[in-house]
Amino acid sequence: MDGLGIAVVIEDDEDVRNLLEGVLSQAGFEVHTAMDGRRGVEVVRHKQANIVTLDVGLPDIDGFEVLRRIRNFSDAYVVMLTGRTEEPDLLSALNAGADDYIAKPFRPRELRARVAAMLRRPRHDIVPQLPAQGVAPAAPVAFGDTGVLRHNGLVLDFKTRSVAVNGKDLELTRSEFDLLHELLRREGAVCTRADLVRAVRGDFYEEDTYISESDERAVEVHIGNLRRKLQEDQQSPKWLQTVRGVGYRLAPKRPDLTS
């Protein structure tokens, strides 16, 4: 990786800050640092950052508030770093607009892999954002040369990275789009949580790459967000069906819904 743009490290721990600066510099970024949240927001703004690493526990304002402020003016990739991996923290980070969430202590190689995976995905989010239990086989999804997938009134266009439900646009984050695309593409086959982690992370997450519990919890949070945006009925799902103890699959095709 060479000449990748501007990275900003917002971290109050000097040792971690120096480590992040070294990893990102070696990866090919021009790196700037900040020790608190308010300063970090201004550095991101003035340097027009391409990627930001952001500590949750900062001395002035917490990382979630910093992220909300950054998202008011920047679509930079943001990786949250924290010693906490509880689901409420994951949910707060992803809902606030984070692209990834890594628990401390982290391995430098893992951080580089995740950054590389993000950079291979389209830079724009599908934004701005708007204010089951059976496992019956699903019918195949139409996937033509145009890269369009259709199922139960939902239409996903991979080339334009757009999604519509019954003709109404649905606005998703990068990760939500990638997860939905993977489930549609699998045509009803079960996707394990590890499968979906790889769909979000990209090529650096090969079959033998370690998948952490926080990775899998992040997928569960994304799926929950997708269900809310789709207004999915958990008792009679149209699109996302849970396979208990395994993962998720596409819900069966319903003749009462247009496709």
What DSSP letter does each residue of 66-120 carry, written as one string? HHHHHTTT---EEEEEES---HHHHHHHHHHT-SEEEESS--HHHHHHHHHHHHT
pLDDT tens figures, 164-215: 998 899 888 878 888 999 999 888 889 888 888 888 776 444 555 566 676 7
Which segment of 7-16, 32-41, 183-192 scores lowest on mean pLDDT?
Answer: 183-192
CATH second-level architecture of 5-119? 3-Layer(aba) Sandwich (3.40)
- Per-residue confidence band for 130, with pLDDT thresholds at 50, 70 and 90: very low
pTM for the full predicted model:
0.57
| pLDDT value for 143 | 39
- Chain segment 133-150, per-residue pLDDT in tens: 333 333 334 434 447 898
Q: Where are the domains of the chain?
A: 5-119, 142-250
Task: Evaluate if residue 152 carries a pLDDT over 50.
Answer: yes
**CATH no. for 142-250:** 1.10.10.10
At residue 85, does pLDDT exceed 90? Answer: no
The larger pLDDT score, comparing residue 250 to residue 254, is at 250
Residue 47 confidence (pLDDT) above 90? yes
- Let me know: does 78 contact 102? Beta carbons within 8 Å: no
- Where would I find the H helices in the chain? 14-27, 37-47, 63-70, 87-96, 108-119, 174-185, 193-201, 213-230
Q: Which of 35-39, 174-178, 219-223 has the highest mean pLDDT?
A: 35-39
The pLDDT mean for the chain works out to 80
Higher pLDDT, 259 or 56: 56
Among 95-109, 152-166, 174-188, the least confident range: 95-109
Residue, of 154 and 132, whose pLDDT is higher:
154
Q: Supply the pLDDT for residue 139.
A: 39
Query: Which of 219, 244, 218 minimizes the C-alpha distance to 86?
Result: 218
